[in-house]
Structure 1
Amino acid sequence: MHISFLIHNAYGIGGTIRTTYNLASTLAEHHDVEVVSVFRHRDEPVLAPSGKVRLRHLVDLRKGGPGYEGDDPEYERPAAVFPAAEGRYKQYSALTDRRIADHLRGLECDVVVGTRPGLNVHIAQQARRGVARVGQEHLTLSTHSGPLKLALRTHYPRLDAVTTVTEADARTYRKLMRLPGVRIEAVPNSVPAPAVAPADASGKWVIAAGRLAPAKRYDVLVKSFAEVVAVRPDWRLRIYGAGAEKAKLRALIDKLGLYNHVFLMGPANPLEAEWVKGSVGAVTSSLESFGMTIVEAMRCGLPVVSTDCPHGPREIIADGTDGLLVPVGKPGAIAAGLLKLIEDDELRRRMGRAALENSARFDPAEIAGRYERLFADLTGRGALRGSLHRTRGALLSGALKTKDASRSALRRVRAA
């Protein structure tokens, strides 16, 4: 199959970019795959797909470069197709409307995959006839505004499938969106096996990673760690990531006297080498669409103490087996979960081994296989393969009857 992904900006860094590259690179082992980035703001991507994946862009925002288009008059006019209700990116404009439309109308592929609501709307309206149209949801339906939900309900019926990253969100889509004829499938994000040896549970570090944003509730994690330190002052916490909450978190760490125990490490890429320095992962979000960092930690052999926030964590962690789920926003409960693993070396090792084993279901090969089956069904290739298999089986069975029948059947098998 020829599979084309459409993404906001493949040259940045973030969970959607990472998981798109993971999926595209794995599919490219057996298919013709490209990633088309609406924007390009630097010469080389921070992350990168495999060499088998083609990467190209539609609008050049590299300032000072010969192809810079940020001063194009169309770039100053608002978009008419990309829904204003998405609101997150002001970059979409009359220029992007035209470039995306030209791209989709001229795109000759079997499957086109959008990676955010506004791009899915473009695909629904403008992709060529005969192309399977798939819209991915990397957030959750519940986090979208009312006007955006209305726009999606208007345009998504033209899609062939919508994929969510959790079963919980798939149920919400089926219940609230009323999309007759559109397949709604839950397919989680993928995380490759790390290139380093897994953690050995001996390091006295708790590791957390993600944007320093309000929804991650690192303030609750810092407060909970004050309770941990009161019992086990030999343990420390590292938080990896950048964001607007950094100054507030630094002030809180100083206020609680935790400057020798809690460290804001800044962003790190890749994170594998940092995860394995620790023995316990921590996630204290009030909301997750999936929980990539949970899987990343587990793939490095760390049991994770996570808040039982909506959607992701409960579908990743088997509570009490490969990690612990605790109430949202409760520093005492989070501290108790961390201390349960810190104080019991054997439990920590056992849960770490289980985390390593259970997280293999998020391997890119597993996730790509699920997408491959979906794409094959949407394009009719699944039925074609099944029919061909049955035909070959019948021919070979009948070939046993006579020598002449055998020769005739084998000729037909070869032709098929």
Structure 2
Amino acid sequence: MSENKLKLVYLTPALYMAGGVERVLTLKANYFAEHYDYDITIILTEGKDKPFFYPLSPKIKVINLDINFEELWGYSFIKKIFVYLKKQRLYKKMVAAELMRLHPDITISLLRREINFLTDIKDESKKIGELHVNRANYRNFESGDSNFFKNLFAKFWMRSLVFKLKKLDEFVVLTNEDRQSWPELSNISVIPDPLSFVPACVSNLTEKRVIAVGRYVYQKGFDLLLQAWSKIEKQYPDWQLVIYGDGNRTPYEMLVRQLGIDDSRCHLKGPTTNIQQEYANSSLFVFSSRFEGFGMVLVEAMACGLPVVSFACPCGPKDIISDGEDGLLVEKGHVDAMADGLSRMMSDEQLRISMSQAARRNVKRFSIEQIAECWKMMFETKGSNS
């Protein structure tokens, strides 16, 4: 470990997007720099002249290598391979040069392209990888477009990845559930993502409104949610469902019409700039994902005092929700089970009140202070051996 303060280097593609990984990295790095006085550098490959989406502490240094892997998106398959290999060689050379120059105690990869070479760089820093999705969906080869060669490639790719992960000093996943899916690894720890805010407002549970939050994509299961809602909405004419998120709403609007849902009480909205206020204006949160890496919106909603009904999908809900105490876990992908869970919550005010109190209490374990302490223990143990 350095004589004075611990020196960390993070490797991640970009900070200009409004993504979950970018938000969590910024939150943690800011906390480490401001509260622990760690010397932190973040190395990027994309978005050279784009502003960071989330504010970064002035104490943190950022190096943009300007590799621009993003330009591959527009290339043909063959050209993509040649340009990728060239860029990857350049990336390895530049990362190695920066690590030799910076001499960090610890280098943290967010498990993108650098995992292919990071443990080969002999700069004496400890190497940590942190994964923000679950194993099954790390490289999400959509089942609809898979074929024999893709399956073969996926198997080869995963075997190669596991070999690289074994060489890390520590591999960090978000949930105990996902930890079980890496039986080959002994160098594995669980540290969840931290809650990104301390709630400024909490629901008083008076609005008869169910809220869901997420992108309008297959993963988030809003099609299943709408099917469940269509089964119970007529029993609860004073309740409404509101969904907030980015993406193409058109297929979901069509589904609302096909299912005969009352669209005056079912609102498909775009993203909101004040999600805390929307949680506070609701009395129940519903989580319909088919799979997750963690499910930060669950933690956010619970911190704002919302009881939840969630599919017990991999991975996240089972680590976050205590079934029957602060929310209901229902069989993953099962529309009738989701409808029953919603109905049970909507019809029982006392249940909502008791679960709301438990939710606020139970998610305190995801505060940035508690999560940062977990990282601090790991960093200082590893760093003292470097």
Same fold (TM over 0.5): yes
Aligned partner of 1:251 in structure 2 is 254
Say which SS state the counterpart of residue 46 (structure 2) adopts.
strand
Aligned partner of 1:165 in structure 2 is 174
Match of 1:55 among 47, 50, 62: 62
TM-score w.r.t. length of structure 1: 0.79
Indicate how the Cα distance of structure 1 residues 53 and 354 shifts in structure 2: closer, same or farther if over 3 A, else same: farther
Higher relative contact order, chain-length normalized (CA < 8 Å, sep 6+): 2
Contact kept? 1:79, 1:96, Cα under 8 Å = no
Aligned partner of 2:318 in structure 1 is 314
Aligned partner of 1:114 in structure 2 is 109
Distance 1:164 1:308 in 2: 18
Contact kept? 1:59, 1:96, Cα under 8 Å = no
Amino acid at match of 2:20: G
Distance 2:163 2:67 in 1: 31
Aligned partner of 2:135 in structure 1 is 141
Amino acid at match of 1:50: S
Match of 1:375 among 358, 376, 379: 379
Indicate how the Cα distance of structure 1 residues 69 and 151 shifts in structure 2: closer, same or farther if over 3 A, else same: closer
Q: Does 1:26 align with 2:21?
A: no
Distance 1:159 1:41 in 2: 29
Q: Does 1:17 align with 2:22?
A: yes
Say which SS state the counterpart of residue 181 (structure 2) adopts.
helix
Return 5+ residue gaps in structure 2 as ranges: 1-5, 140-153
Contact kept? 1:78, 1:94, Cα under 8 Å = no
Q: Per-residue deviation at 1:271?
A: 2.2
Contact kept? 2:12, 2:112, Cα under 8 Å = no
Amino acid at match of 2:201: A
Q: String of CA shifts for 1:114-165, please: whole Å, max 9, x gaps.
A: 1124333332223x43211100111122234323212212322331000000
Deviation beyond 6 Å, 4+ runs, structure 1: 68-71
Amino acid at match of 2:125: V
Distance 1:184 1:117 in 2: 18
Q: Per-residue deviation at 1:13?
A: 1.5
Q: Does 1:131 align with 2:125?
A: yes
Indicate how the Cα distance of structure 1 residues 315 and 234 shifts in structure 2: closer, same or farther if over 3 A, else same: same
Amino acid at match of 1:153: V
Q: Per-residue deviation at 1:377?
A: 1.3
Distance 1:107 1:377 in 2: 20
Aligned partner of 2:150 in structure 1 is none
- For residues 308-387 of structure 1, the aligned pairs below 5 Å read 308-380=312-384
Report the aligned-residue RMSD. Answer: 2.7
Return 5+ residue gaps in structure 1 as ranges: 82-91, 383-416
Q: String of CA shifts for 1:345-380, please: whole Å, max 9, x gaps.
A: 121111111111100100111111101101111122
Aligned partner of 2:13 in structure 1 is 8
Percent identity for Structure 1 against Structure 2: 26
Say which SS state the counterpart of residue 65 (structure 2) adopts.
strand
Indicate how the Cα distance of structure 1 residues 69 and 321 shifts in structure 2: closer, same or farther if over 3 A, else same: closer
Aligned partner of 1:153 in structure 2 is 162
Q: Per-residue deviation at 1:93?
A: 4.5
Q: Does 1:78 align with 2:83?
A: yes
Aligned partner of 1:46 in structure 2 is 53
User: Which has the higher Rg, Structure 1 or Structure 2?
Assistant: 1
Amino acid at match of 1:36: I
Q: String of CA shifts for 1:312-364, please: whole Å, max 9, x gaps.
A: 11110000111110112222211221122211112111111111110010011
- For residues 223-234 of structure 1, the aligned pairs below 5 Å read 223-234=227-238
Aligned partner of 1:388 in structure 2 is none
- For residues 184-223 of structure 1, the aligned pairs below 5 Å read 184-223=188-227
Q: Per-residue deviation at 1:42?
A: 5.2
Contact kept? 2:72, 2:83, Cα under 8 Å = no
Aligned partner of 1:394 in structure 2 is none
Indicate how the Cα distance of structure 1 residues 269 and 106 shifts in structure 2: closer, same or farther if over 3 A, else same: farther
Distance 1:133 1:259 in 2: 52
Contact kept? 1:7, 1:115, Cα under 8 Å = yes
Amino acid at match of 1:163: V
Indicate how the Cα distance of structure 1 residues 33 and 271 shifts in structure 2: closer, same or farther if over 3 A, else same: farther
Q: Per-residue deviation at 1:5?
A: 1.4
Q: Per-residue deviation at 1:310?
A: 2.0
Indicate how the Cα distance of structure 1 residues 69 and 348 shifts in structure 2: closer, same or farther if over 3 A, else same: closer
Indicate how the Cα distance of structure 1 residues 52 and 335 shifts in structure 2: closer, same or farther if over 3 A, else same: farther
Q: Per-residue deviation at 1:184?
A: 0.7
Say which SS state the counterpart of residue 78 (structure 1) adopts.
helix
Contact kept? 1:278, 1:302, Cα under 8 Å = yes
Aligned partner of 1:87 in structure 2 is none
Amino acid at match of 2:167: R
